[in-house]
Each structure stands twice: as structure tokens, then as C-alpha cells.
Amino acid sequence: MLYSEMNRDMLLNEKNQLEERYNTFKAKNLKLDMSRGKPGKEQLDLSNGINEIKDFVYNGTDLRNYGILDGIESCKKLFAELLDVETKNVIIGPNESLTLMFDYVSQCYSHGAGDTPWSKLDEIKFLCPVPGYDRHFTICEYFGIKMINVPMTPNGPDMDAVEELVKDESVKGMMCIPKYSNPQGITFSDETVKRIAALKPAAKDFRIIWDNAYCVHDLSDDGEKLLNIFDILPEYGNEDMVVEFCSTSKITFPGAGISAVIASDANIASIKKRLNAQTISYDKMNQHRHAQFFGNADGVKAHMKKHAEILKPKFDIVLKHLKNELSGTGTAEWIEPKGGYFISLDVMHGCAKRVGELCKEAGVTLTTVGATYPYGIDPNDSNIRIAPSYPPVDELDTAAELLCICVRLACGERLLG
């Protein structure tokens, strides 16, 4: 029954029952963590074979030594195959793509993406589809970039809003996760990708950080397909507008993987110019470990099926509880993602923070409520990001049930005033 249709007595009765269940959980002194998109131990074990690679000569080059600024050919080829681009448009980066994204923004800040370094301008704004990834927001905040919320729709960012906002010349960029977005797991529709590729921003140096973090992270065989934006950009003369990033953080080892940036010839040239001052090379031994371990793109895809086998039951158990406990109550909405790392829960407005508190009191840590919005401010106090990957299934079973109780309890409290 919809909570909104309950009278005061019914709500009080509901609240009492929920408090009883809540206290039973609380008495267990739980310590469960659903806060970050960390792979579980079982997933990490899938990649242990990487540490068996011990021959570091590749094409006659000793990879233990200096050199090869933009990454070894075998690794470039691997990412080029996965993302359907040419190897000349790939640079292999450090242990994670976040650093590459930060560094690209830093490059635009000190040297610009066009004629003027962003540091020389009075105001820089970025569009941030919301809810979104907190670490994107942190990068913007660090560089003093003003963030403008753009609502996500089931097809990606609200493109009417984006098309309107880019008419402002101080809007210099957008950060987004086009496939299995963090936290909603939404893949941008073909139309969205096309409209993004066709944007005519007032700023000639407008840049889209295309964070393809979950490019091969399907939860089952019917994964979603993302249009390759680099195929479309040339039609609009927008080749330089999009810079794509990805990594193996959630393929092999988070923090000890390899990353890649994919960009137009001109952008690759400007990044290489910076690289030339910045490094002698990234870690080619780790690049080689990865290339040898996978062999090719099919190797990666086969590997990702093993991840899915571990992850799918974890997502399912959370979704089962959401359905059993919250369907028909009007207290929350969510999308069943076909990939990625998160489930995004939108609870009754004004209740998310309280849900976080209740969970924490009972020993379940969620992603800080609000973190899915720029500056940590969810204007509706509604969004909760659930990260089911790390806890074992039995713990997740407990944590998800408790979360649902907390959602209902918080909403009940709110309606009771």
C-alpha cells in the first residue's frame, strides 16, 4: 500500500513494526559496507594470473627499462579493439583513469584546450549530469570549476537542458559516464549520443570527459550497447570535443590496473606534448602483464563474464529486497541496471539523509548521502547510491533488508511529521 495513502494510525502501526525489525538488526552489532564500488575478493582472485607474467621483453624491447612514452603497442591494440578506435588514438596511462582525467582538466587549466588557458578566465563552468560520480565533482571543485546540475533521464542527460546551457561561453565542459552511469546504470541512448556529438557549444574549447569506466561491465549476456561517439563526431566537425577515458580498475586490480585515454589526433598531440614533460614512461611492466594475460579483446570479454557471474547474484539480492519491501509503498524508485557497479535508489524527497543515519546507527555504511550531487548537495535529499559489489552475498542479504527497513522507517517518520 502506498504510504501516502495511509492514515496516521496505519503509519504509526507501520512504524512500530518497522522499529521492532530495525532493533532486531541493530542488536546484531552489524558492520557492513555498501559505500564504495570496490570489487570483492573473489573478483580480484580472477586476475591473479597477471602476477605469473615474468618475461618483460616485448618486440625486442626490455620493458623494465626507460622509454615508450605513450604505452606499448600490445596494450594500445587491446584498448583500441575494445573501444573500436585506431591505436594511434590511444595513449596508455597510469594505474587508474581518474588520474588521467584530473590531469586532462589540469592541462586545460594551465594550457587550455583552445587559445586561452582556463586559469586565465574569470569563470569556468562544467555541466554535471545528476546523480553522478562524486570523484568527477571533486576534480571540478579542486580547480574551482562551477558545476551546473543537469538531470539524468532514462536515456542519459537531459539534452534539451544541455543544448541550452552550452550557449553560455563560460560553460567549458561536461563530465559523464555514458555506459552504465554511476550511480544509475543508465546507458546513453543512440539519440543522446548523437545529440551530444552534434552539440554546438559557444565555447570553442568545450570538452567532454567521456568516462567509459564500465565499457565491458555487463551483468549478463544482454548487455547494453553504447554508440561509438568517435564515429559520429567528424560529421559535426567535433572530433576534438570528446576525450574518452577507461581503465582496468574493475577488470583486473583497482589501483594496480592500467588506464587509457582515447582522443582525436589533435588532442593526442597536445596530451603527448604534456607527457613529454611529465614522464619518461608509465609502468610498461604492468602494461605487459595486462596485455599478456588477456591476449586480446575477446580475452577481456571472457574475463568479464566471470566477473558478471560473481556480481549478478549480488545485484539480484539487493533488487529482490527492494522489490519485496518497497514496491507499491511509494517510498522509493530505482532502475534495474544491466551493468556497472551501482544501484541508484531515489527515496521520498527529504528522506535520504535520514535513511543514511538510520543505516549507520545499525552498522550499515552507505555512500555518503548527497555525494552523488555536486558540492554534496542533493537538492531533493532523495538519492542513495548502493554499491553491492564488495560484501559477500550473505552480508548483502542482511544489509539490503536493513536498508529497506530504514527507507520505510524514514519515510514513515516524515509523513508522520
> Given the rule CB under 8 A, which residues bind a second copy?
36, 38-39, 41, 44, 47-48, 51, 54, 62-67, 94-96, 98-99, 102-103, 106, 109-110, 117, 119-120, 135, 138-139, 141-143, 249, 253-256, 273-274, 276-286
Could you give the 3-state DSSP secondary structure of residue 372?
A: coil
Rounded Cα–Cα distance for residues 353 and 381 (Å): 6
Conformational region of residue 117, where left means phi above 0, alpha means psi within -120 to 50, and beta covers everything else:
beta
- Length reported for the chain: 417
Rounded Cα–Cα distance for residues 115 and 255 (Å): 35
Q: Which three cell numbers stand for residue 145?
A: 570549476
| Of 62, 61, 10, 64, the residue nearest 286 (C-alpha) | 64
Rounded Cα–Cα distance for residues 138 and 145 (Å): 10
Sort 177 into a burial class: Cβ within 10 Å, 0-12 / 13-18 / 19+: buried
Q: Report in angstroms how near the CB of residue 218 gets to a second copy at its nearest.
A: 22
Under 8 Å between Cβ of 36 and 365: no
Find where cell 549476456 sits: 221
Task: Between 140 and 268, name the residue whose CB sits nearer to a second copy.
Answer: 140
Under 8 Å between Cβ of 117 and 106: no
Under 8 Å between Cβ of 162 and 127: yes
Bond before 183 cis per omega within 30 degrees: yes
Under 8 Å between Cβ of 164 and 172: no
Rounded Cα–Cα distance for residues 149 and 157 (Å): 10
| Of 209, 150, 214, the residue nearest 185 (C-alpha) | 214
Rounded Cα–Cα distance for residues 270 and 119 (Å): 17
Q: Any bridge partners for residue 345, and if so which?
A: 334, 384
Rounded Cα–Cα distance for residues 318 and 83 (Å): 31
| Of 197, 186, 95, 206, the residue nearest 132 (C-alpha) | 186
Q: Which three cell numbers stand for residue 50?
A: 597477471
